């Protein structure tokens, strides 16, 4: 026997009746059902952009911004960039963000790549900068 039970508390016991119509009964037990379906909807993003240009120079400031959304809310994000020559993650920033704004002062003569990670999704953007 199987049952589909909604989240709730349930009492159950077993009753047995033999061929002579004698009945036995077990103790009453309680079971609590609590199930939350897994989140299978990935977060989304839009408007991932920066204000850098070919005129951006060393010691110039570039601002990256992105709009984030998720059906259950964002738990946080990680912003990364390769301003030092190697793509390096920043720290996890916890919070239910809908808009992320990061500023980087350019210190390297390289193509600057930025990444924002939310959940298992990483957004990449490349800013080509001339010195």
Residue 65, domain extent: 44-127
In a domain, 25, yes or no: no
Residue 116 lies in a domain: yes
The answer on pLDDT for 128 being more than 60 is no
Q: How many structural domains is the chain composed of?
A: 1
The answer to whether position 11 is within a domain reads: no
Q: Residue 88: CB partners within 8 Å, gap ≥ 6?
A: 80, 81, 82
In a domain, 22, yes or no: no
**Per residue in 2-39, pLDDT tens?**
778 899 999 989 999 999 999 999 999 999 999 888 88
CATH number of domain containing 87:
2.60.40
Region 98-127 average pLDDT? 66
CB 118 within 8 A of CB 43: yes
Any domain includes 7: no
Q: Are strands 121-127 and 112-118 parallel, antiparallel or unpaired?
A: antiparallel
**What's the pTM?**
0.57
d(CA 83, CA 101): 17
CB–CB of 84/108 below 8 Å?
yes
Asked whether residue 79 is domain-assigned, the answer is yes
List the one residue out of 53, 50, 54 whose CA is nearest residue 81.
50
């Amino acid at each position: 026997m199987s049952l589909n039970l909604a989240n709730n508390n349930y009492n159950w016991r077993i009753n047995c009746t033999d061929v002579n119509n004698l009945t036995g009964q077990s103790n009453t037990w309680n079971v609590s059902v609590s199930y939350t379906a897994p989140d299978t909807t990935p977060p989304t993003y839009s408007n991932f952009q920066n204000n850098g240009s070919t005129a951006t120079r060393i010691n110039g400031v570039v601002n990256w911004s992105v709009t984030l959304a998720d059906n259950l809310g964002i738990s946080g994000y990680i912003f990364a960039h390769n301003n030092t020559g190697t793509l390096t993650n920043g720290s996890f920033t916890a919070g239910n963000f809908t808009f992320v704004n990061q500023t980087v002062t350019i210190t390297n003569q390289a193509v600057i790549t930025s990444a924002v990670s939310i959940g298992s999704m990483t957004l990449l953007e490349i800013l080509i900068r001339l010195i």
